[in-house]
Amino acid sequence: MTVPKEMPEKWARAGAPPSWSRKKPSWGTEEERRARANDREYNERFQYASNCIKTSKYNILTFLPVNLFEQFQEVANTYFLFLLILQLIPQISSLSWFTTIVPLVLVLTITAVKDATDDYFRHKSDNQVNNRQSQVLINGILQQEQWMNVCVGDIIKLENNQFVAADLLLLSSSEPHGLCYIETAELDGETNMKVRQAIPVTSELGDISKLAKFDGEVICEPPNNKLDKFSGTLYWKENKFPLSNQNMLLRGCVLRNTEWCFGLVIFAGPDTKLMQNSGRTKFKRTSIDRLMNTLVLWIFGFLVCMGVILAIGNAIWEHEVGTRFQVYLPWDEAVDSAFFSGFLSFWSYIIILNTVVPISLYVSVEVIRLGHSYFINWDKKMFCVKKRTPAEARTTTLNEELGQVEYIFSDKTGTLTQNIMVFNKCSINGRSYGDVFDVLGHKAELGERPEPVNFSFNPLADKKFLFWDPTLLEAVKMGDPHTHEFFRLLSLCHTVMSEEKNEGELYYKAQSPDEGALVTAARNFGFVFRSRTPKTITVHEMGTAITYQLLAILDFNNIRKRMSVIVRNPEGKIRLYCKGADTILLDRLHHSTQELLNTTTDHLNEYAGEGLRTLVLAYKDLDEEYYEEWAERRLQASLAQDSREDRLASVYEEVESDMMLLGATAIEDKLQQGVPETIALLTLANIKIWVLTGDKQETAVNIGYSCKMLTDDMTEVFIVTGHTVLEVREELRKAREKMMDSSRTVGNGFTYQEKLSSSKLTSVLEAVAGEYALVINGHSLAHALEADMELEFLETACACKAVICCRVTPLQKAQVVELVKKYKKAVTLAIGDGANDVSMIKTAHIGVGISGQEGIQAVLASDYAFSQFKFLQRLLLVHGRWSYLRMCKFLCYFFYKNFAFTMVHFWFGFFCGFSAQTVYDQYFITLYNIVYTSLPVLAMGVFDQDVPEQRSMEYPKLYEPGQLNLLFNKREFFICIAQGIYTSVLMFFIPYGVFAEATRDDGTQLADYQSFAVTVATSLVIVVSVQIGLDTGYWTAINHFFIWGSLAVYFAILFAMHSNGLFDMFPNQFRFVGNAQNTLAQPTVWLTIVLTTVVCIMPVVAFRFLRLNLKPDLSDTVRYTQLVRKKQKAQHRCMRRVGRTGSRRSGYAFSHQEGFGELIMSGKNMRLSSLALSGFTTRSSSSWIESLRRKKSDSASSPSGGAEKPLKG
């Protein structure tokens, strides 16, 4: 970027912006943005990006070359192109070129069509956006311009319900004080309206004539992706004015409830924050994908070895035997030695034997994954009727990974809970309200409660609000001053916006559900927040409208954990009202409130023990003189260029002291339906669940008990709250010591220190007696995640049954997930519903988004999405387990059938002089993987299941083979290819031995090449068809049709290709004329085919019979039990429900955002009873899984170089 050196004359004074020489671009990067209004010539010098966006990848000219280049980045496609080139060389081509080009072109075409379709819709979307019309002020006149033609420095007029064209500095609007209202759903998924305001100096520029003369210059931060931050300065009329995010309208927002507004373009097109946040998501691959890449390389190495062996054989044969036949079998012209003949033979055999890895493998895998994705989308049991939301597989590449998850990382609010807040209880002046008692003085349960409180006295009450304790309303009606002050605080101390569509119909727009619940409670009890301006708040108190002067809002942030307002009532009295977290506010109370503090603290403990979110309320009277002095210091701090936030925090800290306690509120955030049952079921499947939440420790711990993650039967719950590295390390060390001490009798005499230095520490820790849980705070986690302590934290956490991380940032959530991925080598799943969960969702192997109350950003970043946490058990235990099972069976069978098919050529090479002669007809080679064997294996890969879905849910231990990667690994791969090679040996040598002596019905010799080829091919198709019949565990009409239909198609094509008609038309292509009819008419041939089939299949049948009887796995046991139950018609036994008797300290997590106070002041404003889990979780039939798990843990390698504490791999 070129930066002009000259500086405008008018800035050569004290109010001038900083000199150009202060910030110079480095390597073309932009260090600051300068934009001058109404001066395109000046702004064009900086070569800023235009407002045209481009998300498409291709155009008509570049599509073919670019798309082909991208497709050939895939190793498999390049491999098959290389084979095609080899087949075009006559000296080495042993197969016709179409045997490779047909499937290759088919794959490339299908992929290209898919890519072209996707890009067409991207082009369509780009054109639609770029061609939107906008009103731009050019030469003093508003002109219609397409979005793509808007430039930095232009002034744009927006009208109600229009999209914002670029990132704009708001100059003026139709609303008083330069206010405007926007909806940011496209940016953060939130549908509630937000307020923005122009700075006062430009808010009066409503006339076009004034705007045309506006020549202010903005110097601000360079383009970035921070949606909630903006820092800049406006220089105009020799003055400078600070700019913040509250003055900005970002591209993607929609103007609402505002007739018009004007804005100055600061960032355009790709520089806008919306586009800066649209970075590519990291491509996720499954463990099976990575294993397949390794296996393909091994197979290629095996292919080269076979080629070398056969090439050496060719060279030796040509040298020792071939020279005797040169008279009538001369070498080709280019061949001058036996060595060169062997060299050419090598490439010929590479071509022939390439079908050990056919291109159809990759196509079939994608088809199967697509089918699995549709099953998830179509699952009615994952459809939320209330929200009319189906489950959605947003990717097709990770389905089998769903069957291998070991760790789940979950958000709390909105994921485990409903994020719908209800005002439940409160404590006012030492008295608790909200409980209802019967005539005997016992606390009434919900079903025993009388009618809710009648708020009919209040015409402005919210009819949806329910409260059960009538004594609170009586206190309000009797004029109790403490109760009135309590609700007055709730009606004033907030950042809610009120909208009144019809008289008396109030709609509150709250930035957090907590605030909405509190203001609504005050509204129903007679303190109705009615409206606000930048400097006033109007409240109807018991029917009387009272307007308070709003002097200051001391805004909330994650460090302060409180917010305050300073107001002046009509009598001129100034009072500060404050609400915040108890851990913060209780330390800032006046000493005279100690007795009330003790009582309120007891109430807080009681509320928190019930899982309620608590909040403390306090107030403080200020005299006029002190306030004026404090306001001046606040103003100076707000104008500071450096450390502005720290200075403001210090000023706020001063005034928020020696406050008088009013009471506390308790809000209920209910658990989602089915959460405890889901967590219990997933735990039985050996899936560890970690909760990562921004909420406070007490609330998170209580929710942990509510959803049965934590239980009173646990040996101990470790709580890590250290503020320094040494404190955190010591707390983690003590936790590990306690776990080891309780397991010393299991340790065979080893001391703790001996075990600590052992290379199997994690295995020992994870086998400790008892159940433990770990709770760690965000500030402690920051130290625990440091490089020198992360292993200690991970060892301790992984030894615990449950882990809860509280007060964590979005970045810390991602770091915890990355830590487990890095050292445990386990499949991770992250699930959340808010924008703060996006980084965690993207970091995990699998990301799941819940479409809840916090917008759709988590869904947009996820791989799978649904509306309720309970659907996770079905996604993993049914769809995930089946997908993994199907993919593993598909791959095992696919490699088997292709080795059985290809290795026949290898054995034949020893009997044909290593001449690279194929056994089969070339058309059979072409159609084998495309027609004869493709559909049966696809049907198995899409529809197969070992046990029904109900059994998958009843026996969660069935999930463990996926976690241990038992169904497809290197061992299973070698077993498959060994079976394939065994089959190929029998497939070749049985017909070869029979044909050596056999005769036809007329006494002539049966042995000829074409008859042998037909016999071997027919035997192969029948054997692999019978084998897939044995492999199929769940038969559908489709399986029957595809398996027996493929056999019928084989015979139909065989007889057609060997017919006289095709030979007459294409004599050079169809040379096996009449061979099928003659060969298959011989009883000897059919006897050979039957013998080959029986010898190939019987060992498999015998092995599976013995394994089923001697060492059945859990799925075999479940199927047997199912058959027994059907015969006996026995009822399932139900697991008893485990109840919780204890309670734990909890509290309120202030789910708030920073910045709204300043904005307003400036005018801005757990069903286990249905689970027949039986005793199979402890049966000996599943003990092999446990032994394998222990073996896997014991053999785990060190996680990092030089580390002495390896973790389970």
At 44-70, the pLDDT tens digits run: 999 999 998 887 888 888 899 988 888
Segment 1032-1061 shows an average pLDDT of: 91
* pLDDT 10s digits, 714-758: 888 899 988 889 999 999 999 998 888 766 544 444 433 333 333
Can you tell me whether residue 995 is helix, strand or coil?
helix
Active-site option among 411, 555, 582, 833: 411
Residue 808 tokens, joined = 């964590």
Whether the per-residue pLDDT at 1202 is higher than 90: the answer is no
Angle at 548 between CA 546 and CA 553, to 5 degrees: 145
**pLDDT band for position 125 (cuts 50, 70, 90):** confident
Q: DSSP per residue over 478-498, as a string? A: TT-HHHHHHHHHHHHSS--EE
β partners of residue 563: 579
For residue 938, pLDDT over 50 is answered with: yes
**Average pLDDT rounded to a whole number, residues 491-501:** 85
Task: Examine the pLDDT at 621 and tell me if it is beyond 90.
Answer: yes
Q: Parallel, antiparallel, or unpaired for β 141-146 and 155-159?
A: unpaired
Question: What is the average per-residue pLDDT within 178-202?
Answer: 76
pLDDT digits (tens, 9 = 90+) for 228-268: 778 888 999 888 888 888 899 998 888 987 889 999 999 99
Structure tokens at 517: 């619940």
pLDDT tens-digit map of 574-596:
999 999 988 788 889 998 989 99
pLDDT for res 1135: 42
411 an active-site residue?
yes
- Residue 1135 per-residue DSSP state: P
755, amino acid identity: K
Give the per-residue pLDDT at 882.
95
pLDDT above 90: percentage of residues in the chain: 37
Lowest-confidence range among 481-485, 524-528, 694-698, 987-991? 694-698
323 pLDDT higher than 90: no
- Bigger pLDDT: 321 vs 949: 949
Is the model's pLDDT at 1149 over the cut of 80? no
> Has residue 27 got a pLDDT over 60?
no
764 — pLDDT class (breaks 50, 70, 90): low
Which pair of structure tokens corresponds to residue 217? Answer: 């210059």
pLDDT band at 765; cut points 50, 70, 90: low
pLDDT at 126: 83
Q: What type of residue is 132?
A: R
Closest CA to 511 of 556, 473, 553: 556
Residue 36 pLDDT greater than 90, yes or no: yes
**C-alpha to C-alpha distance for 343 and 268, rounded to whole angstroms:** 62
Q: Name which residue leads in pLDDT, 252 or 142.
A: 142
Whether the per-residue pLDDT at 1 is higher than 70: the answer is: no
Give me the DSSP letters along 559-624. Answer: TT-EEEEEEE-TT--EEEEEEE-HHHHGGGB-GGGHHHHHHHHHHHHHHHHTT-EEEEEEEEEE-H
Q: Which residues pair with 537 in a beta bridge?
A: 532, 548
* Angle at 1010 (CA atoms; ends 986, 320), nearest 5 degrees: 75
Over residues 259-287, the pLDDT tens digits come to 899 999 999 988 988 787 654 555 677 88
Q: Give me 1037's structure tokens.
A: 């009409």
CA-to-CA separations, 578 to 165, 388, 630, 983, in angstroms, rounded? 40, 41, 17, 80
Position 646 scores a pLDDT of 80
Share of the chain above pLDDT 70, in %: 83
Mean pLDDT of 1046-1056: 93
Per residue in 527-547, pLDDT tens? 999 988 778 899 999 989 999
pLDDT, one tens digit per residue, over 398-422 is: 899 999 999 999 988 778 887 778 8
Contact between 405 and 880 (Cβ < 8 Å): yes
Predicted pLDDT at 256: 83
In the predicted model, what is the mean pLDDT of residues 1014-1030? 95
Q: Which residue has the higher pLDDT, 499 or 1129?
A: 499
Cα gap 473→524, rounded to integer Å: 9
Judge residue 185's burial from the number of C-beta atoms within 10 Å of its C-beta, 0-12 exposed, 13-18 middle, 19 or more buried: middle
Asked if 288 contacts 966 with a C-beta cutoff of 8 angstroms, the reply is: no
Averaged pLDDT for residues 508-520? 82
Q: Looking at residue 932, what DSSP letter applies?
A: I
Give the mean model confidence (pLDDT) for residues 86-97: 74
DSSP E strand boundaries for 51-92? none
Three-class secondary structure of residue 208 per DSSP: helix
Would you state the pLDDT for residue 871? 93
Across the range 333-361, mean pLDDT stands at 82
On average, the pLDDT of the chain sits at: 81
How many angstroms separate the CA atoms of 857 and 846, rounded?
16
The answer to whether residue 445 scores a pLDDT higher than 80 is no
Among 178-192, 419-433, 551-565, 626-640, the range scoring the smallest mean pLDDT is: 178-192
Residue 818: what pLDDT? Answer: 92
Q: Is there a contact between 891 and 968 (Cβ–Cβ < 8 Å)? A: yes
747 class by beta-carbon count within 10 Å (0-12 exposed, 13-18 middle, 19+ buried): middle
Task: Say yes or no to pLDDT of 647 above 90.
Answer: no
**pLDDT value of residue 4:** 36
What is the distance, to the nearest Å, from the Cα of residue 1207 to the centroid of all Cα atoms in its chain?
25
Residue range 321-334: average pLDDT? 74
Query: Which range among 105-119, 195-209, 453-467, 1056-1070 shows the weakest confidence by mean pLDDT?
Result: 1056-1070
Mean pLDDT, rounded, for 658-687 = 90
CA separation for the pair 979, 1100 (Å, rounded) = 9
- Whether the per-residue pLDDT at 1192 is higher than 70: the answer is no
Residue 488: its pLDDT value, please?
Answer: 96
Nearest-angstrom CA–CA distance, 170 and 205 = 11
- Could you report the per-residue pLDDT of 808-856, keeping only the tens digit for each? 877 788 889 999 998 988 999 999 887 678 788 888 999 999 886 555 6
